[in-house]
Chain A
Amino acid sequence: MSSFELICPAGSPAALRAAVDAGADAVYLGFRDETNARNFPGLNFSRPELAEAIAYAHARSVQVFVAINTYPQAGNLAPWQRAVDDAARLKADAVILADLGLLAYAAEHHPELRLHLSVQASAANAEAIRLYREAFGVRRVVLPRVLTVPEIARLNAEVDVETEVFVFGGLCPMAEGRCSLSSYATGLSPNKQGVCSPASHVRYEPRGEALASRLGGFTINVFGAGEPAGYPTLCKGRFVPGGGTSSDPAYLFEEPTSLNALALLPELKAAKVCALKIEGRQRGKAYIAAVVAAYRRALDAFDRGLPVPALDLEAMVEGGAQTTGAYTRAWR
């Protein structure tokens, strides 16, 4: 039996097929609306597409998880409840939820449906996780990307719930579900509208040989000639401190590095992590195919006790640099 389940993203039917064919154990995806935290134009699944996706995946023994992980708006619960009903009707293997009310709705109306707690719920301690387990029967928790590996190990020793951790892709450095930077700059947030730093508010401006990235009227970064560019996610901006008097812009919150925890497989196994998750429902199928295949090879080698092959994926990730993120953050 393999040490970990490999959970892979899909933003379109073609990306789902790419993930399944490249060796995913499960694929997570969302409906084409504000009920999921990757509500980007042209992305995600209609109901018929989900039905086809599930048929394709199940025929190859791959599971499908439906992320319904934004927070319903007051007085407008219907789209979120309908999403849970449809995921259950179409025989999704699990739904990934964050909102307490929606968890209660799913537990009550679809007792047979497997519930996973989204990273958006930011459940990072044993008491919180136990509560989700006892109140709603949550079977798995996706841990926020703020814990170290020893913390994850301690957590797993205390709770009777499977844990899933992010191992590759873009980083959201704050406690998920609690960040308001995007709302501040654009009025739209990942927690409500399912978009952080939405494309509708993004502009790229050439400035001679340089390229400026702007979000909602704020300059988030200026990339020099030939310097790798990035998306203007607010927490990954390079700013001039001191009211613009310094000439050296610096990253204020986080450098735009990308998570890669491949080197931590032995520690994650010892910490009793059940599933490894790849971020990137907004990325194209070429990216999905390459990353999933690379991780599949690495996990297969790990299971057979062979040396884990290094991933040659630097060129595909934002910032072109990789980090093990909070998992090994010494100052914590």
Chain B
Amino acid sequence: MRDPGFMVQDQAHETAPDPRARDVEVQLTRAGLGVARRLGDRAGGLLFDRLLRILEARHPRAFAALGELPDARLLIDPVDAPAALLLRVGPTLALRVCDRSAEAEATVRGPCARLLDLLEGRIDGDALFFRRELSIEGDTALILALRNTLDGEEMDLFGDVAAAAGPLRHALPVARRNAGRALDLLATARRFAPPPLRWGMTMLERRLTGPRQGA
């Protein structure tokens, strides 16, 4: 869960998720990384290209700034997700799923939820680093440039993607508002499901999201 002390006042963002909806989004992100890795380079690549185009349309300032950086690769490693991401900045901007051992000029490592909060500027990256929840290696200037660029935006990964998905954009705020209730229902359903089905659900979750820290 996020430190309440570090949260930007959420009132400004009408569609900002409540903590439980956020938890779902973090799990979806981890699952998305697992799925992207299975899709392989070609299909996964197309998916990430599309994602970058969506974000670029909504955040032209940030993307112009990323394009002006010198050509370099940044490994973004959510330690509790099944795969990492390789972001190439500079004139040929690209995002790909990769192994956490991939070669890069700089690396940022931390829990998936923290990295997502950081991407959206909901949390103070310096404080995370001071507390050793986030670790960085390699080209510090590159990491700072990326952090500063993203922090200058009001990014909302799921909100941005939903907004590009036509009618779906109306569904997201509703889903976020009702996430808590939906999760309760799911938990109840799981409790009353016959054991084989329950195990099946757990196995499927594991395959999608990889091992969870502390689980």
Contact = CB atoms under 8 A, between A and B. Distances in A.
Interface in B69-98: 69
B12 interface: yes
A14 B124 contact: no
Main secondary structure of the interface of A (DSSP, over half): mixed
Interface stretch (B38-46, B144-152, B156-164, B179-187): B144-152
B126 interface: yes
For chain B, the bracket of interface size reads 35 or more
Given A203-B140, A204-B137, A286-B121, A12 B130 contact: no
B171 interface: no
Interface string A197-217: 011101111100001000000
B186 to A, nearest CB: 31
Interface in B11-32: 12
A203 B151 CA distance: 22
Interface in A208-238: 211, 223, 226-231
A284 B136 CA distance: 17
A22 interface: yes
A48 to B, nearest CB: 10
Contacts of A320: 130
B205 interface: no
B65 A285 contact: no
B130 A228 contact: yes
Interface string B120-151: 01111111011110011110111111111101
A313 interface: yes
A2 to B, nearest CB: 21
A11 interface: yes
A15 interface: yes
Contacts of A17: 12
B9 A12 contact: no
Nearest to A13: B152
B135 A316 contact: no
Contacts of A199: 140-141, 143-144
B7 A286 contact: yes
Interface string A285-328: 11101100100000000000000000011011111100000000
Contact of B132 (A14, A200, A229): A229
A11 B140 contact: no
A315 B5 contact: yes
Given A199-B140, A285-B121, A293 B126 contact: no
Given A12-B151, A315-B3, A318-B130, A21 B12 contact: yes
A64 B112 CA distance: 37
Contacts of B147: 42, 284
A83 interface: no
Which of A223, A228, A284, A312 has most B Cβ within 10 Å? Answer: A284
B127 A315 contact: yes
B145 to A, nearest CB: 4
Given A42-B65, A286-B124, A230 B130 contact: yes
Which of B123, B126, B142 has most A Cβ within 10 Å? Answer: B126
Interface of B: 3, 5-9, 12, 61, 65, 69, 121-127, 129-132, 135-138, 140-149, 151-154
Interface of A: 11-15, 17-18, 21-22, 40-43, 49, 198-200, 202-206, 211, 223, 226-231, 282-287, 289-290, 293, 312-313, 315-320
19 contacts: A11-B148, A11-B151, A12-B152, A13-B61, A15-B151, A15-B152, A21-B12, A42-B146, A199-B144, A203-B138, A228-B130, A284-B123, A284-B151, A286-B123, A287-B6, A293-B9, A315-B5, A316-B5, A316-B127
